[in-house]
């Protein structure tokens, strides 16, 4: 069976626009927050280079000085994240006359060229997502993507029958099944509400609300991707916060915290458990990347605008994974 690590991505908007995700897996690959400046050269596998482009910041695994981004936003406020889509993702062979882009080039290609989702839609019209690996001995990650700015959100899926671009009105993405099915299954929860319930079961029965929160009775709590999609969609769509930076960031982490994976709850093999390795929240409007890790619940921040964005060398910040405790006495 192929590896099917689980992740969740979401958007949130107050005064600014926020974009982030969880990365759930049993091991880490030395992930780093990477700022790629405007003049770093991306060599594209099917010819050509991405030279002068928008600067971007995100979480990546760096190999051969190349940032393999899991999620990132650019200086214009456009964000994209790739999430596992094993068994459904299908990449093609290069086609003449098309923009032949590998799955690991997709994030910098879109963020480097596009300022908005509207521009990304246009760019994607001529794209052919190809099955070239980053290195010969590395498997090609089977992914689908959430792409968002402050105005709109879309989901991109490359399927056997071709590339699909869906409007994403909930601003949420997890893994399988395909996005259309995930959205359809939200119909199962249309009766849920953050409000306290009334008795619609039977007029002749004296039924009482014996606990707060019963309006959302039936909201799934397991760790499957379909359940996480419903849970985060409910949490995000009903989230309320002030529009300050502190309140907005805190609320975003609470939204994704609704699907945190704790070690011991999702066994992938004997003695190995999937956990939420990191959770990110990027203020896409200001280029600030916030994150927490499984062992460090303190929020850490990196501001792309504190670096030289006209440079040509990426700036790396290894994740701070050791728990930080603020003593009050």
H-helix segments, the chain? 106-113, 117-124, 179-185, 225-237, 245-257
List the beta bridge partners of residue 69: 60
Cα–Cα distance for residue pair 298/156, rounded to 1 Å: 32
Q: Which two tokens stand for residue 67?
A: 């940032």
CA angle 233, 25, 141 (to 5 degrees): 90
Is residue 265 annotated as part of the catalytic site, yes or no? no
The position carrying tokens 């090609």 is 140
Cα–Cα distance for residue pair 60/235, rounded to 1 Å: 27
Using CB atoms within 10 Å of the CB of residue 185, give its burial: 0 to 12 exposed, 13 to 18 middle, 19+ buried: middle
64 dihedral zone (left: phi>0; alpha: psi -120 to 50; beta) = left
Cα–Cα distance for residue pair 275/161, rounded to 1 Å: 33
Q: Which residues are catalytic?
A: 7
């Amino acid at each position: 069976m192929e590896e099917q690590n689980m992740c969740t991505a979401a958007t949130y908007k107050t005064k600014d626009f926020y974009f982030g995700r969880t990365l759930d897996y049993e091991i880490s690959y030395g992930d780093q927050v990477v700022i790629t400046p405007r003049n770093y050269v991306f060599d594209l596998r099917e010819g050509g280079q991405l030279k002068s482009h928008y600067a971007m910041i995100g979480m990546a695994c760096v190999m051969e000085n190349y940032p393999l981004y899991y999620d990132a936003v650019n200086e214009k406020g456009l964000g994209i994240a790739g999430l596992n889509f094993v068994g459904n993702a299908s990449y093609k062979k290069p086609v003449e006359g098309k923009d032949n882009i590998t799955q690991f080039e997709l994030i910098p290609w879109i963020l480097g060229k596009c300022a908005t989702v509207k521009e990304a839609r246009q760019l994607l019209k001529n794209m052919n997502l190809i099955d070239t690996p980053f290195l010969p001995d590395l498997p090609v990650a089977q992914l689908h993507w959430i792409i968002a700015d402050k105005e709109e959100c879309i989901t991109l899926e490359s399927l056997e029958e071709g590339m699909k671009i869906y409007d994403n009105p909930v601003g949420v993405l997890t893994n399988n099944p395909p996005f259309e099915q995930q959205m359809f299954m939200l119909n199962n929860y249309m009766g849920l509400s953050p409000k306290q319930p009334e008795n619609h079961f039977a007029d002749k029965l004296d039924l009482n609300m014996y606990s707060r929160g019963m309006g959302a009775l039936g909201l799934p709590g397991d760790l499957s991707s379909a359940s996480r999609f419903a849970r985060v969609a409910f949490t995000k769509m009903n989230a309320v916060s002030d529009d300050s930076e502190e309140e907005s960031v805190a609320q975003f982490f609470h939204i994704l915290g609704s699907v945190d994976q704790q070690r011991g709850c999702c066994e992938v093999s004997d003695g190995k458990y999937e956990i939420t390795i990191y959770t990110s929240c990027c203020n896409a409007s200001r280029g600030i990347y916030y994150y927490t890790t499984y062992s460090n619940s303190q929020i850490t921040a990196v501001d792309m605008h504190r670096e030289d964005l006209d440079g040509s060398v990426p700036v790396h910040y290894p994740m701070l994974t050791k728990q930080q405790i603020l003593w009050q006495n």
